[in-house]
Amino acid sequence: MIIVNRKDKENEREKVVTVALHTLGCKVNACESEKIEASLKEAGFLIVPFSSSADVYIVNTCSVTNIADRKSRQLLHRAKKLNPDALIIAAGCYVNTRGREEVTADPLVDLAFSNEEKTGICAFLKERFSNRLSSEGAADTSLFSLEHTRVFLKVQDGCDMFCSYCVIPYARGRIKSIPEAELIREVTSLASHGYREFILTGIHLSSYGKDLPEGKTDLMTLIRSLSGISGVRRLRLGSLEPGIITEDFARFLSEIPALCPHFHLSLQSGSDSVLKRMNRKYDTKRYAESVKLLRQYFDDPAITTDVIVGFPGESDTEFEETVSFLKRIGFYETHVFQYSRRAGTAADRMPGQLSSGVKAEREKVLLRMTEERRKAYADSRIGKDAEVLFEENNEGYTKEYIRVRCMNPDAVNGSILYGTITGRENNRLMSFEPRQL
């Protein structure tokens, strides 16, 4: 970020166009915001913190829940309060689900760009502010915020699953895979600039390649290609569907040295009857088989998941089935969400909508469980060898995504050190002792 001294450079500030961005929601949104920011910098716009006064505010919105919708509106309103004369832009999923007319009917929102139109924001602003832009205003064009360390790589967009509770297929559309050649070029460039870890992400990562010509590519082919690029030290996978974990797939992953043994397998419920109402494409037996395969081919991998509590009609018995299943699987970490009604989805029309109180109580139960399990998994690594990619302040992550701190001066941003996890520093941080190889 460029910080402007308002006292000393007031005249300079008036000559450039300042833009503030804020991103809500998923990693795909974060990837898209980074690229929007990079294009704006290259065009000569000055990127400033969202909390400061700016000429333009862009909120890259989320609409996965009602709470996300509310946060999107709140941020758009906050921007207008920061500078009543600013241009306020809503972009992304909130625009897709609510519609441009509804979003711009808000007097505090000036423009709305759908997910499909996001890439045109920079071109629009260049034309809008052409009289105030010059090449002299161009700033650092670095694509991503984690300098020379980790980067999220969007490889796919959209979803064809149509789970009964989810609006994402309506917000993001059908699956769209980014061609392998384009991703190879991007990763090659980023690796040459010092990035070490690449997190493959998408709205439905498991479907990568299904929309491309038959036999052209799939997720396995992409992983193989990216792992062979010079400078790529780590590949981490985003959320996967249980059905993609076959024995062939698990064996293949175990043979990729750069592949991090950290797998996020979407669950949503540990009750088969709830999974059926959710229109998920697996049951708990198939899910457990996927976990078994990963543990067969990897040594104690970190397995994380998502769970929705309070789905319509979820009985006490069905909730207890979820609790029992989570205990049986023994996840490293579980991300817990209360069910949120979304207009237009099948679940919104289902009987047995539960009260917010019931959902909150069930959420508390699972959050206590996941905190205990997260600590137990991290503690089980004490005394074991680890490879750590450091980011800043002598802190970094193991391949299992355990956060550690090392006081060794060699633990600089972007370095990879090998050593041993020696203990716990606090609830979220482990201690690490490097060794010479």
82 vs 392, which has greater pLDDT? 82
Is residue 309 included in any domain, yes or no? yes
Domain edge (last residue) among 355, 380, 405: 380
Q: What is the pLDDT of residues 172-206, one digit of tens each?
A: 999 999 999 999 999 999 999 889 999 999 999 99
Band (pLDDT 50/70/90 cuts) for residue 387 is: very high
Is residue 403 included in any domain, yes or no? yes
Q: What is the pLDDT of residues 21-79, one digit of tens each?
A: 999 999 999 999 999 999 999 999 999 999 999 999 999 999 998 889 999 999 999 99
In a shared domain, residues 357 and 411: no
In a shared domain, residues 411 and 361: no
In a shared domain, residues 341 and 391: no
In a shared domain, residues 214 and 229: yes
Band (pLDDT 50/70/90 cuts) for residue 414 is: confident
Give Rg (Cα) of the chain.
Answer: 23
Is residue 4 included in any domain, yes or no? no
- For position 16, what pLDDT does the model report? 87
Q: What is the CA angle 305-306-312, rounded to 5?
A: 145
Report the number of distinct structural domains present in the chain: 3
From residue 321, alpha-carbon distances to 225, 309, 312, 314, 326 in Å are 41, 12, 15, 10, 9
In a shared domain, residues 131 and 223: no
Domain edge (last residue) among 97, 112, 137: 137
Q: What is the pLDDT of residues 119-140, one digit of tens each?
A: 999 999 999 998 888 654 444 4
Beta strand 87-92 pairing with 46-47: unpaired
Name which of 261, 332, 260, 247 is nearest 301 in CA terms. 261
Q: Is 90 exceeded by the pLDDT of residue 299?
A: yes
Is residue 9 included in any domain, yes or no? no
- Cβ within 8 Å of residue 388, ≥6 positions away: 396, 397, 398, 404, 406, 411, 416, 417, 418, 419, 432, 434
Cα 369 off chain centre by: 23
Task: Please identify which residue in the block is written with the tokens 């998923």.
Answer: 26
Q: What is the pTM of this model?
A: 0.86
In a shared domain, residues 125 and 182: no
Q: Is 60 exceeded by the pLDDT of residue 98?
A: yes
- Cβ within 8 Å of residue 74, ≥6 positions away: none
In a shared domain, residues 292 and 367: yes
One-letter amino acid of 381: R
Domain edge (last residue) among 102, 137, 172: 137
Q: What is the CATH number of the domain that holds 126?
A: 3.40.50.12160
- For position 103, what pLDDT does the model report? 94
In a shared domain, residues 263 and 342: yes
In a shared domain, residues 289 and 342: yes
Instruction: Give the range among 135-149, 232-246, 397-411 with minimum mean pLDDT.
Output: 135-149
Return the biggest CA–CA distance within the chain.
67
Is residue 399 included in any domain, yes or no? yes
Contact yes or no for 278/347 (Cβ under 8 A): yes
Mean confidence (pLDDT) of the chain:
91
Phi, psi of 384 (to 5 degrees): -100, 155
Band (pLDDT 50/70/90 cuts) for residue 148 is: low
In a shared domain, residues 206 and 335: yes
Q: What is the CATH number of the domain that holds 255?
A: 3.80.30.20
Domain, as residue range, for 240: 150-380
Is residue 76 included in any domain, yes or no? yes
In a shared domain, residues 127 and 248: no
In a shared domain, residues 157 and 304: yes
Is residue 145 included in any domain, yes or no? no
Is residue 7 included in any domain, yes or no? no
